[in-house]
């Protein structure tokens, strides 16, 4: 595995020698990595690479067969669900986009887990995600991108230092994808929150602070995007032929 991660900081989240079975075989085997406070971390890989499973393990929703997931230097299984939610928030790919709530009502639900530890007020969380003026709007009246941002505001209100977002860019137009990534990078910088975001589009990889690239349950590469975005790694992670590679890099968007 190629690794350029900073190992000097105290980990916020750590996988230690983790094994996890899928379809009666060990899918993740001896998986090791750590996440420190602050930074937008991209989790990339083709369908079936293990991105969603990894995020669920990180959230404590799945338990490893062997090894440990540490959250703040404690085994994640030692936390109650409510206590764990004070450290991290997990947002699945499939959301109830037509939930019968107003934006402010949805966002306020994040405070249930915070126990007064949140970084933002409801109003601030709504402003941060760019929904000022729509606090009283029903989710059903918002665009798809706005609804996802409302759910992200809800996770911000929990007050945790780690956000786990599974495919939050799915089905969004490019404009809303870029707006959401700018928002997440700003939150990481300003509030020293770490965000792990799974996605598919390698044209957006340069906007990450760190990339973790999976293939069939293996962490193939881990480090800065500028060091990992090369022909050999892309070919290995996505199983591409040589003739498919050159066109992928010609249209990369520069980091904002």
Predicted confidence (pLDDT) per residue in 99-119, tens digit: 889 999 999 988 876 665 667
Predicted confidence (pLDDT) per residue in 186-206, tens digit: 889 888 889 999 988 888 888
Helix (H) or strand (E) holding 149: helix 144-156
Mark whether 165 and 251 lie in a shared domain. yes
- Percentage helix, strand, coil, to 5, in the chain? 35, 25, 40
Assigned domain for 152 exists: yes
Predicted confidence (pLDDT) per residue in 167-190, tens digit: 988 777 788 788 889 888 988 988
Q: What is the CATH number of the domain that holds 254?
A: 3.40.50.300
* Count of domains forming the chain: 2
Mark whether 248 and 166 lie in a shared domain. yes
Assigned domain for 83 exists: no
Report the residue count for the chain: 256
- Per-residue pLDDT at 187: 86
Residue 228 and residue 43 in contact, taking contact as beta carbons nearer than 8 Å: no
What would the two tokens of residue 206 be? 């340069």
In whole angstroms, what is the distance from residue 77 CA to residue 59 CA?
Answer: 10
Assigned domain for 174 exists: yes
Mark whether 253 and 165 lie in a shared domain. yes
Predicted confidence (pLDDT) per residue in 192-251, tens digit: 889 999 988 888 888 999 999 999 999 999 999 988 887 788 888 877 766 665 555 554
- Enclosing domain of residue 166: 1-76+161-256
Mark whether 68 and 179 lie in a shared domain. yes
Average pLDDT of every residue of the chain: 84
Mark whether 42 and 139 lie in a shared domain. no
Among 133, 160, 187, residue at a domain's last position: 160
Closest to 84 in 3D by CA, of 61, 55, 108 = 61
Assigned domain for 81 exists: no
Mark whether 145 and 172 lie in a shared domain. no
Assigned domain for 218 exists: yes
In whole angstroms, what is the distance from residue 192 CA to residue 201 CA?
Answer: 25
Residue 160 scores a pLDDT above 50: yes
Mark whether 133 and 234 lie in a shared domain. no
Mark whether 132 and 56 lie in a shared domain. no
Mark whether 207 and 244 lie in a shared domain. yes
Assigned domain for 227 exists: yes
Could you give the angle at which helices 144-156 and 174-191 cross, rounded to 10 degrees? 10
Mark whether 72 and 176 lie in a shared domain. yes
Mark whether 128 and 20 lie in a shared domain. no
In whole angstroms, what is the distance from residue 97 CA to residue 176 CA?
Answer: 16
In whole angstroms, what is the distance from residue 198 CA to residue 41 CA?
Answer: 8
Residue bearing the bigger pLDDT, 135 or 247: 135
Assigned domain for 82 exists: no
Assigned domain for 247 exists: yes
User: Percent of the chain scored above 90 by pLDDT?
Assistant: 40
Mark whether 240 and 256 lie in a shared domain. yes
Residue 3 scores a pLDDT above 70: no
Q: What mean pLDDT do residues 26-33 have?
A: 92
């Amino acid at each position: 595995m190629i690794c350029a991660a900073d190992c000097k900081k105290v980990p916020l989240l750590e996988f230690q020698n983790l094994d996890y079975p899928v379809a009666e075989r060990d899918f993740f085997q001896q998986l090791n990595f750590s996440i420190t406070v602050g930074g937008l971390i991209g989790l990339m890989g083709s369908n079936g690479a293990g991105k969603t499973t990894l995020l669920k393990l990180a959230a404590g929703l799945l338990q490893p067969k062997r090894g440990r997931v540490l959250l703040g230097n404690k085994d994640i299984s030692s936390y109650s669900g409510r206590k764990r939610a004070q450290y991290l928030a997990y947002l699945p790919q499939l959301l109830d986009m037509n939930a019968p709530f107003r934006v402010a009502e949805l966002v306020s639900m994040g405070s249930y887990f915070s126990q007064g530890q949140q970084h933002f007020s409801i109003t601030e969380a709504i402003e941060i995600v760019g929904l000022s003026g729509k606090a009283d709007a029903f989710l059903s009246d918002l665009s798809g991108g706005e609804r996802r941002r409302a759910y992200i505001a809800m996770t911000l209100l929990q007050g945790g230092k780690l956000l786990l977002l599974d495919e939050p860019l799915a089905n969004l137009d490019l404009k809303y994808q870029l707006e959401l990534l700018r928002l997440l990078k700003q939150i990481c910088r300003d509030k020293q929150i770490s965000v792990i975001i799974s996605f598919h589009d390698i044209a957006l990889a340069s906007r990450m602070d760190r990339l973790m690239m999976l293939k069939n349950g293996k962490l193939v590469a881990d480090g800065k995007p500028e060091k990992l975005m090369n022909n050999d790694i892309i070919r290995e992670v996505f199983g591409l032929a040589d003739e498919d590679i050159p066109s992928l890099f010609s249209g990369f968007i520069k980091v904002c």
